[in-house]
Amino acid sequence: MDKRDYYEVLGVPRTAGEDEIKKAYRQLALKFHPDRNPGNAEAENKFKEATEAYEVLKDPQKRSRYDQFGHAGFNQGGGYGPGGFGFGGFDLGDALRAFMRDFGGFGFEDVFGGRGGRADNRGQDLQIKITLTLEEIAAGVTKKLRVKRLATCKECSGYGSAPGSSKKTCPQCKGAGQVRRITQSLFGQMVSVTTCHNCGGTGSIITAPCPACRGEGRTREETTISVNIPAGVAAGNYIPIEGKGDSGRQGGPAGDLIVIIDEEEHDLFTRQENHIICQVPVSFVTAALGGTIEIPVLGGTERLEIPPSTQTGKVFRLAGKGIPYLRRRGRGDQLVQIHVWTPKKLSDDDKKLLRKLGESESFAPPKASKSFFDKLRETLGV
C-alpha cells in the first residue's frame, strides 16, 4: 500500500510553518494516542502515521528532502526512516518516544524499557558535494566517492572498553541508561524520560579505555562509497545514504552521508529546469533559402530542417531532447536558437555580389512599425 502524502496526513498545506505543523500533529497524536484508544488498531496506525509525518516535516533538512524526492528520498541505501527510525521498523515504541520527546510523557513510561539512549549516541551526518556534467545528469550515473569518517573501532567493537576489561554500573541512572522525571499536568501524571548524560545512555561506565580508540569507540578511516544518482537531478538536490556517516558512539546508530549535487557548466548548452538551450550559427544563404543543418544534442547530433527566410533569434523546439524529469516520466525539450552568421572577411567579388543583391527590395528590411507614441497620438487625435 502506498504511503499517504505527509502534508495530507497532518492536514496542513505545503506552505505550513513549523508551529502549524506542530499544532496539527499534537491534535492528531492526542486524538489517536493508544492510551486513549486501548486495543484500537486503526487508532494506533493513525498515531504512528501522524508521528512519522511529523518527524519529517518538523525537520527543515528532511522536509526539503521530502519536498524534492517524496517518499523515495528516504529509500536510498536500504531505506531511511524519519527521526532516525527505519521505515520498516517505525513501530509503536518509536512513535511514542518521538511524541514524548517533544510533548512530554503520557503515562507510558514502561514502553521505553530497552531502546532509550541510542538516538543521543547517533553518529554525525556527513556532507559531500559532487559535480556532475550535463550528460551525467541526463543519463543518471553511479559515482564512487572517497569519504573520511569515524568508523567503529575494530578492537573494542565500538564500546570503548579495552578487550577483557569490565564496566561498572552507572551510579546516576542505576544501569537504566535513562533518567525519569514525574510531573503533574492537565492530562494527569506526565513522565519525562531523558538519556543519562553520565553514561550516554549505556547504563555503564568504562573503567579501562580501549588503547586503539582511547575509549572513544571510533577511529578515523577513509573509505570508498558508491552512490547511484538518478537522471534528472539539479544543483542543490541531495541524496541521503543511510548509515554511511560517522559511526555512533557506544553502539549507537551511524549517521548518514548527504551527497549534495552541483552542475558543471556546459560548453554548448544552458539548462532551464528540464529544458536545455543552445545557440546554433547558420549561414546567410541557409537562413535565406532554407536547408538542413547538423546540431548538437545530448549524447550526439541530429539534423534540423531550416525553413526559408529564417531570422536570427528564431527558436526551434526538439520535443523530448532535454533532461529527464526526476519524479515523473518524460523529458524536457531542447530549444535551438538560430543565429545568422555574418562573414568577417569578404573578397571583392563577394562584395560586388552582395551590393548587387542589396539593390533588390527583397533584401531591404521591413519598415519600422509605428511607435507606441505615434499610435497614442492617433488615438487621441493630436
Give the residue from 80, 103, 126 where a domain finishes: 103
Task: Name the residue among 134, 97, 349, 124 with its Cα closest to residue 261.
Answer: 134
pTM of the full predicted structure? 0.56
- Quick check: is 218 in a domain? no
Question: Where in the sequence is the domain holding 342, given as residue range(s)?
Answer: 270-373
* φ, ψ of residue 346 in degrees (nearest 5): -130, 140
Structural domain contains residue 326 = yes
| Domain stops at, among 68, 103, 138 | 103
Is 295 within a domain? yes
Residues near 109 by Cβ (< 8 Å), separated by ≥ 6?
A: 180, 191, 193
Number of domains in the chain: 2
160 inside domain: no
Indicate whether 96 belongs to any domain: yes
Ramachandran class of 121: left when φ > 0, alpha when ψ lies in -120 to 50, beta otherwise:
alpha
CATH of the domain at 10: 1.10.287.110
pLDDT of residue 296: 92
pLDDT by 10-residue block (mean), the chain, 382 residues:
85 92 90 79 88 90 85 53 40 63 46 42 87 93 93 86 84 82 63 76 83 88 92 86 86 86 91 92 89 91 92 91 89 92 86 81 67 62 56
What is the C-alpha separation between 255 and 243, in angstroms, rounded? 5
- Whether residue 348 lies inside any domain: the answer is yes
Long-range contacts of 268-274 (CB under 8 A, 24+ apart): 268/296, 269/134, 269/296, 269/298, 271/134, 271/234, 271/323, 272/335, 273/234, 273/323, 273/332, 274/232, 274/322, 274/323, 274/324, 274/325, 274/331, 274/332
What's 344's domain CATH number? Answer: 2.60.260.20
Task: State which of 61, 78, 103 marks the end of a domain.
Answer: 103
With respect to residue 146, please indicate whether it lies within any of the assigned structural domains: no
pLDDT value for 133: 93
The pLDDT of residue 111 is: 34
> What backbone phi and psi angles, to 5 degrees, belong to 11?
70, 35
163 assigned to some structural domain: no
